[in-house]
Structure formats: structure tokens, C-alpha cells
Amino acid sequence: MFPLEIETLARLLIDEARQKSLRLVTAESCTGGLVAGAICAISGASDVFERGFVTYTNRAKSEMLGVPGDVIADHGAVSEVVARMMAEGALEASNGHVAVSITGVAGPGGGSPLKPVGTVHLAVARANRSVVHRHERFAGGTREAVQLAAVRTALEMLREAVA
């Protein structure tokens, strides 16, 4: 279902999280649940995967993850502050230990000069640690390429947070 690289990253993540007894949470916008899907495509995911939030709309980000509407209005849904708040909100709204969030412009439409297609903000929150953020500009031209690059990056960030 997913490219081998993503399957391998998900398998390694599950093994590493299992070894540390950590539960994982996802909060996704532009990837629409693909990170959760990549993790759950691996046998044994139930040992570590707590839940996933697909918060595609601004309202969902507010209602499910507690991101204030005024923050979204001031900074835009595709921003560092929203990604950080999504990850923190996912931890607070779950029984997880490590949460990743993704918000971005997958395309082919929806881009702007300040936030072109391929702009993605990711964040990882772990209890009692600082939130880690990454701002990416994924090239590739297609929606699928941007989404898969974001999934790969999210899995890598989760692995770093679990380590």
C-alpha cells in the first residue's frame, strides 16, 4: 500500500516505541490520515498506536485539538504555531506519549506566493520535552508526492522523538 521506505520507517518506529512502552498519536491535515495509515498498515501497530486525528478544517483543528480560532486567523492554518499547537493538543486529547502533527499545502491548488504548494509544517510533541518543529518545502509537483514526503518526514520525526 505504501512505498517500501515508508513501510520500513513505520516498522522501525513501531519496534522502537514498543521497546520504550510509548503510545503514538497523529494529528493530520494535508495528509488526511496517511501517517496513521502507514503505521496501522504494519502488524503489531496496536501495541503502540493510540489514535489519530484528521483535522482537515480549521474548525476541526479548534474543536478536536484546541487550536484557538484567532491563532489560525492570525497565522494561517499552515504555520509553525498551528503545527506546534496541533501536536500539543493531540497529546492532551489522548492517552499518548508522543504526537506528530502535519499541516500544509499538498496541491495542486491552494498555494500562494508566501505558502506555495509543497509547504508543510510538522511538529512532534512528547510529554516533558520541547516541541520540535520542521518547515519543509517539498517539491515533486503532485499531491501524492507532497503527501508521501510529509508522511516520510513525520515518521522520521517520530522515530527521533522516541529515541
Give the pTM: 0.97
Distance of CA 78 to the CA centre of its chain: 12
Three state DSSP letters for 89-139 = HHHHCCCCCEEEEEEECCCCCCCCCCCCCCEEEEEEEECCCCCEEEEEECC
pLDDT tens-place string over residues 15-31: 999 999 999 999 999 99
Which residues are bridge partners to 153 per DSSP?
none
Each residue's pLDDT tens digit, 46-57: 999 999 999 999
- The secondary structure of residue 7, as a DSSP letter, is H
* pLDDT (average), residues 57-65: 98
pLDDT at 142 over 90: yes
Q: Across residues 105-127, what is the average pLDDT?
A: 96
DSSP H helical segments within 66-122, as ranges? 69-75, 80-92
Instruction: State phi, psi for 81 to the nearest 5 degrees.
Output: -65, -40
- What SS3 class is residue 47? helix
Residue 140 scores a pLDDT above 80: no
The pLDDT-based confidence of 141 (bands split at 50, 70, 90) is confident
Give the H or E element holding residue 58: helix 58-65
Confidence at residue 30, expressed as pLDDT on a 0 to 100 scale:
97
Evaluate if residue 138 carries a pLDDT over 80. Answer: yes
Q: Which amino acid is located at 81 in the chain?
A: V
pLDDT of 145 > 90? The answer is: yes
Cα distance between residue 24 and residue 143, in whole Å = 26
Amino acid at 67: V
